[in-house]
C-alpha cells in the first residue's frame, strides 16, 4: 500500500522552478534537514559593550514550555502555504490527491480567498490534528532561541492559539511589506528572553529560520507527508 502522501510527494518534487524560486528554495538540493544556527553567537568588539549591558540589565531565561506559542506560528505558516496561489496552480497539473489532503488544502484555499477573516475556519484549522501533530514534532527539533523567535512572532499578533491569528496569517501573505516593522517590534523582547543580538542579526536569523521551515514543508518531512 502506498503512503498517503506519495501523490503529493510527486507533485512537490515536480513543482515548476518559478514556483520554487518565488518561495526562496534552491532547486538543486536534496531533501531538507533542519539544521538551525546555534543559539549562541559571538558579538564583534564594537557590539560587545552595548550587548553586555543588555545582558546584565535584561536577560533572564525562560523554560522551554513557555514557547508553546511557536507551534501557532508553525501551523499558520503551513496554512498560508497550503492556501497559496502557487500551490493551487501546481496541484491542477498533478494526479488526484487523497481525500484528507484535498480537504485540508481546500480549507486553506478558502481561508485565503476570504482574506483570512472566517473565524470558524481559523478555529477549525487551529484544532486540526494533522497540523497540530506537525507543529509539535517540528517544535521538538528546534533550538530554544528559534522557538523564542516563533513565539514572539505569534504573541505580536495574538496571545491566543485558537482561532489562528488573522494578523499572523496576513503577515505571511504580505511578508515583504510587514517583516521589518514586526522585527522592530519584537527584537528587544527577544534580547530579554533568549540572547543579546543586534536588530540586523535578528532579522537575518528570523528570515533564515522561516525560509528553512518553508523549504522543509515543501521537500522535507512536513505536514503533507504525514
What are the residue ranges spanned by the domains of the chain?
A: 6-24+63-218
For residue 168, give Cα distances in angstroms to 87, 94, 106. Answer: 20, 30, 20
Q: 123, 126, 125: which is closest to 107 by C-alpha?
A: 125
- Whether the CB-CB separation of 155 and 65 falls below 8 Å is answered with no
Is the model more confident about 214 or about 209?
A: 209
Confidence of residue 2 (pLDDT cuts 50, 70, 90): very low
pTM over 0.75? The answer is no
* Residue pLDDT, tens place only, 125-146: 999 999 999 999 999 999 999 9
Cα dihedral 129/97/139/76 (nearest 10): -80
CA-based R_g, the chain, Å: 18
Amino acid at each position: 500500500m502506498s503512503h498517503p502522501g506519495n501523490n503529493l510527494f510527486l507533485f512537490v518534487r515536480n513543482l515548476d522552478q518559478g514556483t520554487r524560486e518565488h518561495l526562496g528554495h534552491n532547486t538543486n538540493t536534496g531533501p531538507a534537514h533542519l539544521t538551525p544556527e546555534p543559539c549562541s553567537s559571538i558579538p564583534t568588539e564594537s557590539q560587545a559593550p552595548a550587548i553586555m549591558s543588555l545582558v546584565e540589565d535584561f536577560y533572564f531565561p525562560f523554560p522551554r514550555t513557555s514557547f508553546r506559542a511557536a507551534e501557532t506560528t508553525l501551523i499558520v505558516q503551513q496554512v498560508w502555504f497550503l492556501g497559496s496561489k502557487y500551490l493551487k496552480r501546481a496541484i491542477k497539473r498533478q494526479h488526484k490527491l487523497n481525500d484528507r489532503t484535498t480537504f485540508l488544502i481546500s480549507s486553506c484555499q478558502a481561508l485565503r480567498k476570504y482574506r483570512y477573516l472566517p473565524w470558524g475556519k481559523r478555529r477549525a484549522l487551529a484544532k486540526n490534528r494533522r497540523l497540530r501533530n506537525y507543529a509539535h514534532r517540528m517544535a521538538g527539533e528546534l533550538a530554544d532561541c528559534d522557538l523564542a523567535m516563533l513565539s514572539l512572532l505569534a504573541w505580536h499578533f495574538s496571545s491566543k492559539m485558537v482561532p489562528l491569528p488573522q494578523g499572523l496569517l496576513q503577515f505571511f501573505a504580505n511578508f515583504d511589506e510587514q517583516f521589518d516593522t514586526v522585527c522592530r517590534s519584537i527584537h528587544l523582547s527577544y534580547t530579554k528572553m533568549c540572547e543579546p543580538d543586534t536588530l540586523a542579526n535578528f532579522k537575518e536569523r528570523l528570515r533564515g529560520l522561516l525560509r528553512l521551515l518553508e523549504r522543509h514543508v515543501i521537500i522535507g518531512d512536513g505536514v503533507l507527508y504525514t
